[in-house]
Amino acid sequence: MVSADYVARKIRVVGIVQGVGFRPYVKLLADKYGVKGYVRNLGGGEVEIHVEGPRDAVESLINEFLTRRPSAIYIEESEVVEAELIGFTSFEILESKTERSAISMIPPDLAICDECLREVLDSSNPRRYKYLFNSCSFCGPRFAVIKALPYDRHNTSWSAFKMCPHCEREYWDPKVGGIRRYYYQGISCKHCGPRVRLLSIDGEVINTRDIIQDTAKLIDEGYIVAIKGVGGYHIAALASDDDVVLKLRSRKKRPTQPFAVMVLDLDIAEKLVELNDESRKLLKSPQRPIVLLPKKPSTPVSKYVSPNLDKEGVFLPYTALHYLLLTEVKDHFLIMTSGNIHGHPMCTNINCVMNKLRGVVDYVLDHDLEIVHRVDDSVVRFTGGYAVLLRRSRGYAPMWIRISRKLRKPVVAFGADLQMAGAVAVEDKVIPTQYIGDLDEYEALEDLDRELNWFVRVYGIKDALLVCDANPSYASTWLCHKWAEKYGLEYVSVYHHHAHALATAADWGETEPFVSITIDGVGYGLDGMAWGGEVLIVNGETFTRFGHLRYVPMPGGDLASIYPVRMVISYLSQFLKNHEIIDVLGKLGLIDKLPGGELEVKVVLNQLRNSIMTSSIGRFLDSVSALLRLSTYRSYEGEPAIVLEAHARGGSYIGDESIKDLIRKDGGTYIVDSVELFRWAYEALMSGLNTRDIAYTVQYSVGKALGEIACMAAQEVNNFRIYLSGGAAVNDYIYAGIKSAVEECGGIVRLPRKVPPGDGGIALGQVYYVALSNNT
C-alpha cells in the first residue's frame, strides 16, 4: 500500500529547455532527491517530466529547478498537475517524442562559457586543450546547427560525428560528464569532433604545424583569410594596417561601410573604445553582439575601418577558434566582417567561398561542421544610454517575444525589404527569424522563404494568416502573395509605418490607443507618397496621421537616396531660384558630386515638377549631410545620416530664434517645417558657423519639433507613453530632442528593447496588427 505522502506530478515546461542541458539537470536532481519517473523532450521544443516519490522530495525537486536552475536554462512557463502513480523504479531520460503539447523556444547560439574556455587553455586536459569546438550544455552552437525538433543529436549537424569512447562515457554517466556534459547533444573532443583545414583560395590544402598559429602568421603578414564560424564565414584581416584595410575595401567593393573589429578581451577593447559597466556587460554576455562604442582618440585601429564615424563596432570572440586566433595575432584584434560580396548573404559553405570570395580572400580556414541556418552577428548600440538592437541574430534569434493579446490562428509575417527579418506567431508568441538582410538580391529572398518554411514546419503551423507590407513593389510582398497563391492562404496588408509603430508598442505590451513617432528612410504611405517623418495616433488596426515633416520632392525616386545632392537641390528649390541653386552648388563644390555634373543638376531641377513627394526624415538628414559636404554618395544604407550624426559629436546646440518654432498646421495635420530648418542650416553654413554645431542643432531641432507634435497627439488620446520607431530612432541627437519635448509635457519616450527599431522589427508589428484586429 502506497503512503498518502507518496505523490506523482506531471510537469510541462516551456522556454529554452531543449539544447541547454535541462533533461540531464532534472535527472541529476531526481537522483539527488531519490524520486522516480522520467524526463523527455517533446516535438514542439517543450519538455515533459513525470516525477513520483515522497511529497517533500517531489516538492523540493520542483522548487529547485523552478528557482535555482543554471542560468542557461530559461523557463517561461510551467504547468504542474497531479498525476497517477505508475510505480517507476528509477528516474530515466526517455527517448524524445515528436508529438507537441505546446511550442517552446529553439535555443540561440551562445558564446563559449568560461568553463569551456578554461578547458581549452588547460594543457593538462589533452582532449580539450586548444580544441577549437569546445562547448557544453550551457554554450556553443544551437540554432545554427538544428535541422529539426526535438533537439537531439540526430536532428543536428553533430550527427555527422560519432562520439569517441571518452565522450560516450561523459554522455551516458553523470558521474563522469557532470551537469555540463552528461547527455549533452553536441558533445565532442579532439578525438571525434569537427576537423579544420587551411586552404588557399584555389583549393590547395596548406600543410601546417599548428593551424591557428600558421593562420595568424598569414594574417599578420597582410593576407586576408575567410574563417568559418558558427553561422557563416567571416573575413579576417589586420585592422591596424591602412594598406590591408584599403586592399580589403577594394576587393570587397565596400568603399566606406564600417567593418566590425573582434578583440581578444575587455583589456584590448579598452584600448580601442570607451567602455562603461553596461557596455562591458553586453560585450561579455552569452550573446556576444557587435557593440557600437565611441572611439578613443588614441585607438590603434586604422581610420579606414570605419571612416567618417565616431563609433567602432567591437565584439569579443564567441568560440575557442576565434579566441585562440586572437591570442596568436600580433595586435590581439582583427577585422572580422561578414564573408560575402557586397550586398549578398554571407557564405555558409566552402563552395560559396570558392566561387564568390575568389579575388576577395587569399586563404580559407575551414571546418566540417555543417551550418544549417545562416546566422549573422547581432549588432547593438546605445541611444540615450539605452542598449538598442540594430540587428537581431546570433545569440538572440530565434527566441520568441510575448505579446499582450492572443492570436486566434497562427500568423506568418513577411516584414519589409531592407535589413529585414520575418516572423511566425502562435497564440501570444512571436518568433522572429534571424536577420535576413536586404531583399535586393534573390539569394536573400530565398533565405527568407526557406527560413519561414522551416519555422512553419518545426512548429507544426497550419492554416496561417499571412501579413505583408502594403508596398506592392516590395520583394517581401511578392513572396507573401506567392505563399497565398501556393498554399491557398489569406493575407492582409499593413502600412509600413503602422507596423513600425505597432512593433515598439508590442515590445512594451501597449494595448491602449497610443502615439508613435516613426522616422526612417522611406515607407509607402496612405496617399501613395514616400513617408518617413511621422507622428501617428494608433488605435489597434487603425491609425491617424497627426503630423509629419513637410513634403518636398524626391527627384529621381531611389536615386535621391543614393546621391543626396539631389535632395539638397530639392530643399534649396523651396526658397531659391534655379540659377541661384546652380550658383550655390558650384560654390559648395557639390555639382561634381552628381555623376552627370551640371547637366544632371538641370535634369533634377526639371524633375522636381513631377517627382514623388516625401516626408522622410532620412532624406532630410541626407540633404543636410550633403550640404555640409560630409557625405555625398550613399554606399551603404543610411550612410549620409549616420555620418551626420557622427559629425555632431563635440558640437553644440545653437538656440536660434528662427528655428525654435518649426511647427505649422495644414488643415487638421501638424507639419514640421523641415524646409525652414534646412534654410537655417544653409544660411549658417554660408555665414561660417561651425559645421559640428550645425549638425547638432539640425538633428536636435527636428527631434524636438516631432516631440512637441507628439505631446499634442498624446493629449488627444490621454496616453503620454510615446513609442519611437524606424531606423532614425536610434540617432542620439534626434532622440535627445524628442525626449526633451516629451518630458516637458510629462510624457516618456520608449524605444524597442527586443527588436530593432528599423525594418528588422517590422514583422513583430505586422503580427501585432493581427492580434489587435478582427482578422483572426
On whether the CB atoms of residues 316 and 327 are closer than 8 A, the answer is: no
On whether the CB atoms of residues 561 and 631 are closer than 8 A, the answer is: no
What's the grid cell of residue 302? 586604422
Residue 15 CA to residue 515 CA, distance in Å, equals: 32
Burial class for 442, CB neighbours closer than 10 Å (0-12, 13-18, 19+): exposed
- Count of CB atoms within 10 A of residue 736's CB? 20
List, edge to edge, every strand of the sheet that includes 429-432. Answer: 401-402, 429-432, 423-426, 411-413, 465-469, 491-494
Q: Mark whether 23 is an active-site residue.
A: yes
Task: Please give the full DSSP string across 228-263, using - where no structure is assigned.
Answer: E-SSSEEEEE-SS-HHHHHHHHHHHT-SSPPPPEEE
Q: For residue 236, which amino acid is it?
A: A
**Hey, is 168 helix, strand or coil?**
helix
Residue 461 CA to residue 411 CA, distance in Å, equals: 9
Sign for the pseudo-dihedral over CA of 760, 282, 297, 238 = negative
From the candidates 9, 12, 41, 550, give the one annotated as an active-site residue: 41
Q: At what angle do helices 691-717 and 674-686 cross, to 10 degrees?
A: 160
From the candidates 9, 12, 23, 408, give the one annotated as an active-site residue: 23
Residue 519 CA to residue 702 CA, distance in Å, equals: 11
Q: Mark whether 731 is an active-site residue.
A: no
On whether the CB atoms of residues 458 and 106 are closer than 8 A, the answer is: yes
Counting Cα atoms < 13 Å in the Cβ hemisphere of 721 gives 14
On whether the CB atoms of residues 300 and 314 are closer than 8 A, the answer is: no
Residue 272 CA to residue 170 CA, distance in Å, equals: 41
Return the closest-CA partner of residue 434 out of 751, 108, 758, 18: 108
Main-chain dihedrals φ then ψ at residue 510, nearest 5 degrees: -75, 130
Return the closest-CA partner of residue 227 out of 313, 142, 325: 325
Return the closest-CA partner of residue 660 out of 716, 612, 708, 695: 708
Q: Which positions are annotated as active-site residues?
A: 23, 41
